[in-house]
Amino acid sequence: MSQTIHCQACNADTAVRDIPDLIDAHTNESGQFCCARCGGTDTFLYRNGHVNPRGESDEWIKGVVPIDTKTTDAAYVPFVFLTADDPDGKVTGIAFKYYRGGTASVRKRKAARRTGRGPIMAQSQLLALVGRLAKIGVVSRTEWRELLSARDG
C-alpha cells in the first residue's frame, strides 16, 4: 500500500507500509492518525499518496478503525477510514475498506480490491463498529440514542 501521513502541525511526512502498520503504529485509541515526529493528531493520509496540484483532495482521511473479527487469518479483514471534508475539519464520514489477511508467511498485506464488492460483516461486527464510533465521538450520543430507539415505521 505504501502511503504517506502528513502532519500539519510540524509539517512532517511519515511513510506507512500497509494497513496493519497504519493501525498498529500510527493511530491513537480513537483511531486518529498520530504524527511520528511530534505526536500531534492534526494529521491526514494523502489519498493515493498525494494531493492534487491545487492542494485539494476529494477525501481527507483522518484516521482508521479496525472492525473486530474473530479470526486474524480471515481472507479479507474489514476496517473503516475516518474521513473529513477538508484537512482541518472534523470527521464527517466513514469509508468501508478491507485488506487481504491470512497467515504472516503467505500474506502480503495491502488494501484489497474486489470489483463491485465491499466488506462483508456480521450484524455483531456492524453493531460493534457503530458502538466504537459512538465511543470515540464520530457518532454523537444523540445520534446513537436515535438509532437505538428507531422502530420500523
- In degrees, rounded to 5, the angle at the alpha carbon of residue 107 between the alpha carbons of residues 102 and 109 is 100
DSSP E strands, the chain: 3-7, 13-16, 43-45, 60-66, 76-84, 91-100
Reading the block at residue 151, the C-alpha cell is: 422502530
Which tens digits make up the pLDDT trace of 113-145? Answer: 445 566 777 788 888 888 888 888 888 888 878
What single-letter amino acid sits at 99?
Y
Which pLDDT does position 104 carry in this prediction?
47
Measured distance CA(135)–CA(29) in Å, rounded: 10
The half-sphere exposure of 139 on its side-chain side, counting CA atoms within 13 A, is 16
Domains in the chain: boundaries: 3-149
Which tens digits make up the pLDDT trace of 23-40? Answer: 889 999 889 999 989 998
